[in-house]
Chains A and B, each alone.
Chain A
Amino acid sequence: MMPDPFILRALLAGLAAALMAGPLGSFIVWRRMAYFGDALAHSALLGVALALVMDISVTAGVLAVAVVVAIAVNLPGHLRRLPPDALLGIFAHGALAAGLLLTSLLIRPGFDLMALLFGDILAVTASDVALLGGGALLILAALVAIWRPLLAAAVSEEIAIAEGMNPRRAELAHTLLLAAALALAMKITGVLLFTSLLIIPAAAARAFARSPEAMAALAVAVGMAAVAAGLWASWTFDAPSGPAIVSAAFGLFAVFHMAASMLRFR
């Protein structure tokens, strides 16, 4: 039986999001920047508000704001007055509050705030799918290009610098790629659950991976399985797609880590 075209579109969009989320998310876990992911995702609401005010596409508005946040967080330490975790904590929730305030003031009839917060994968259009698919491939290619210095920096920033790499440039590139991924994947997960699509599959993959590359690849597989399961739940129970996908990923995370512990202590 041929599935409905909009189910097929949703599946393709979700798989593309999982494809870029696995490797990007692995680096979020290794670099301990989950909080940054949240700050970035919450700032997307400001981007939506900006898009509404300026009457530009939501993707462009989100991308613009996310890039500014990515650069601001990467400012050298001496330009900051607060430690990075405090700054991110303030920013993550400040941006969420301001974004909710602005979008609710600016909201137009028919604008779905829930979809913005939690994603609506069943509403993706053919052009969304094309943008997401092409964007995911580009992001993946860029990540492969900076893989070596970025990984070396995750292991030891000292070694990376001493041995002639430019880890700070690679790290900035990684945060910019996250900003782009957010702008593309927002429709799938919503702004509140974007980070979890990135880190939960990667954290699940950690249970069985023996090398960084294996972890990134397994994270893609976990993410794809979660998308398929979440989509099914979203379709069957009319559940919001973001929470459905993230719950599936969370379930896989729990199962993987329990299985790994049982194998280890057998």
Chain B
Amino acid sequence: MNGQDNSPLLELRDAGVRAPDGRWLIRHVSLSVRRGEIVTLIGPNGGGKTTTIRAALGILPLAEGEVRRSRNLQVGYVPQKLTLDPTLPMTVARFMRLTCPATEAEVARALEETGVCARMTAQVAGLSGGELQRVLIARAILRKPDLLVLDEPVQGVDFAGEAALYELIGRIRERLGCGVLLVSHDLHFVMAGTDRVVCINGHVCCSGHPHAVTQTPEYAELFGPAALERLAAYTHRHDHVHAPDGHVCGTEDCGCDDRKEKGE
């Protein structure tokens, strides 16, 4: 199906998404995810990371550019938020089978992996934020996806749990050989666990392999100087300046080594 060939599982080419009022939420975004690869989207809040993911999955229509997904692509998706209508009763075990059938044992194993097996008979509406995230991740894994897409998967999870969940995502990638596309604020994980980083701030600011800690002014600019101290940034020259709305001021050439984006 999605064989061993190395064609992308998912590819965005020069994608643009507009808000209902006509404003561009993202524009000229190109990225791809291959089998066995972990691609992490980073960038400031409101920069369009979630929009990019939603466009890539077909949830939002593209105003320009194109999205390609390989045929019969099995996706496991962990959305940023899940608000269950209070009128809809739903146990964790039933929720796990929402989009694909699974045996009790398979459901239990997936929940075991994310550490919430004990909550199997609980109502989804009664879970804590961290528990819900773990259930969402378990549900996505249960589908044995070709492509695992996670939008800030560890929000609400305590610090020790975060590391374990990121480790788990890495293990799942090894085991299933799936591609992983995720939004993360955890720059430690970005450094240690990611094959490619794509920085999105309205457009693809830069993308490339994460490297050892380097003093990079663009991170100071995007994430604040405090982030620089604990975070390992990756090396690229950042020779443009973002206006408050995210658009690029002055020179259009970003100068990243791995850059795919065309200028605005």
Contacts and interface: CB of A to CB of B under 8 A. Distances in A.
B57 A162 contact: yes
A30 B88 contact: yes
Contacts of A145: none
Residue among B90, B95, B123 with the most chain A CB within 10 A?
A: B90
A212 B54 contact: no
A25 to B, nearest CB: 11
Nearest to A218: B89
Contact of A162 (B77, B91, B94): B77
Given A159-B77, A163-B75, A164-B75, A148 B89 contact: no
Contact of A161 (B57, B76, B82, B94): B57
Residue among B57, B73, B84, B88 with the most chain A CB within 10 A?
A: B88
A212 B87 CA distance: 9
B59 A211 contact: no
A163 B89 contact: no
B143 interface: yes
| B interface, size bucket | 20 to 34
B99 A165 contact: yes
Residue among B54, B76, B87, B94 with the most chain A CB within 10 A?
A: B87
Contact of A212 (B59, B74, B79, B90): B90
A25 B33 CA distance: 42
A212 B75 contact: no
Contacts of A179: none
B90 A211 contact: yes
A210 B149 contact: no
A158 B88 contact: no
Nearest to A27: B88
B89 A155 contact: no
Interface in A193-237: 203, 206, 209-215
A32 interface: yes
Nearest to A205: B89
Contacts of A151: 98
